[in-house]
Amino acid sequence: MKAVVLRGPGDLALLDVPEPSCPPGHAIVRMTHCGICGSDVRYLHGDNPWAKQTLGEKRPNPSNIILGHEATGVVERVAPDADPAWIGKRVALIAFGTCGECEYCRSGREQLCPNTQHLGHGAGWADSPYCYGGMAERVPILTNWLRELPDSVGNLEASVLDPLGVAVHGVGRTGVRAGQSLLVVGAGPVGVLAVPVARHRGAARVVVADLNDSALAVAQRMGAHSVLLATGGDLQARARDANGGRLYDAILDTVGAPLGLYLPLLERGGTMVTMTVRDTEEPFPTKLLAGERTLTSSCNFRFDEYEEAVRLLESGAVDPLPMITHRYPLTEALEAFRVAGNKDASGAVKVVLTGS
């Protein structure tokens, strides 16, 4: 079958790989859609964003990763011991499984589990010639990682469930409440999905900042009350203007911007969440945390938040179509990665690969 294989840093290829086997408990899913995540572009460049954001560690990637953790499809077959009722169902693939035994899993914080196995990320596939992922014609996956899609949610729309789960968790980490204001930094997929998530929670004012005009236009179509071009010395003044002259109750930084740029915009008692931690040191005056301001990070999502993401699509509270700016067949994956990796020129927000 055809698959998008990251053979090593910078070495991405569309290859014919052996058909996956279907071990006990597994299903084989025919991929219909798989989004390209910003993290896929970082894996391509040799980074390991999951290890950095969750473990705070630099970890090398294994070779031969079939990328893709934002996949949907149709179940083609199941192992003899698995429930045959799955066959023919339209499904989303939950992209990770956790151990269920560590202190994080046992305390309902499975997003912090260090023993995570990842679809399309390379973690936890020690004995396999390929680390399987969604950017392939067929994907082997444990049936308990499958989520049947409601009738009203198409496979294309459902391909955003992974970043939508990330947005649900990130917005939750900011603690933004009904009537409050949220500043979202970055109009990438998670940033623009955070807009309807926060509005669904009753946020009264959601403002998005980005360097790219076309991405900001998408943020507006996703429901942002106001958008800001994040350049120029007057950025902080314009950001306050966009919130009626006030500081923000919460800030969700999806891009890892310099702390000194946005932390001064946080209201007393508010929380700023960074979704992209960095290796570089960043000195900042601790007085920016005066007044019980909180600075923290956000990792992936909890499984109950994935269910919330499904409900947000099903109810129509989140319409992801404005953010799906580009679609390519799996066979044109390398071109799709060029577009996704050069968002400034392409204006891409979400690039989705399509299967059969």
User: Which residues on neighbouring strands pair with residue 91, listed in sequence order?
Assistant: 73, 148
The nearer residue to Zn ion, 177 or 326, going by C-beta atoms, is: 326
Query: What is the three-class DSSP state of 136?
Result: strand
Footprint of Zn ion on residues 30-49 (CB under 5 A)? Answer: 37, 39
CB of 38 to Zn ion, least distance (A): 7
Rounded distance between C-alpha atoms, residue 257 and residue 284, angstroms: 13
Q: Does residue 354 bind Zn ion (CB under 5 A)?
A: no
Task: For 185-197, give one letter per residue: b (16+ CB within 10 A) or e.
Answer: bbbbbbbbbbbbb
CB of 108 to Zn ion, least distance (A): 11
Q: Does residue 55 bind Zn ion (CB under 5 A)?
A: no
Rounded distance between C-alpha atoms, residue 62 and residue 59, angstroms: 9
CB of 281 to Zn ion, least distance (A): 26
* CB neighbourhood size of 88 (10 A): 10
The nearer residue to Zn ion, 105 or 139, going by C-beta atoms, is: 105
Rounded distance between C-alpha atoms, residue 304 and residue 165, angstroms: 9
Which of 1, 14, 55, 102: binder of Zn ion (CB under 5 A)? 102
Best CA proximity match to 218, nearest among 249, 243, 193: 193
Footprint of Zn ion on residues 109-128 (CB under 5 A)? Answer: 113
Q: Does residue 105 bind Zn ion (CB under 5 A)?
A: yes
Q: Does residue 300 bind Zn ion (CB under 5 A)?
A: no
- Give me the sign of the Cα torsion angle 89, 95, 97, 102: negative
Of 83-91, 93-101, 229-237, 254-262, the segment contacting Zn ion by CB under 5 A is 93-101
Q: Does residue 263 bind Zn ion (CB under 5 A)?
A: no
Which of 32, 64, 98, 243: binder of Zn ion (CB under 5 A)? 98
For binding to Zn ion (CB under 5 A), which residues are involved? 37, 39, 98-99, 102, 105, 113
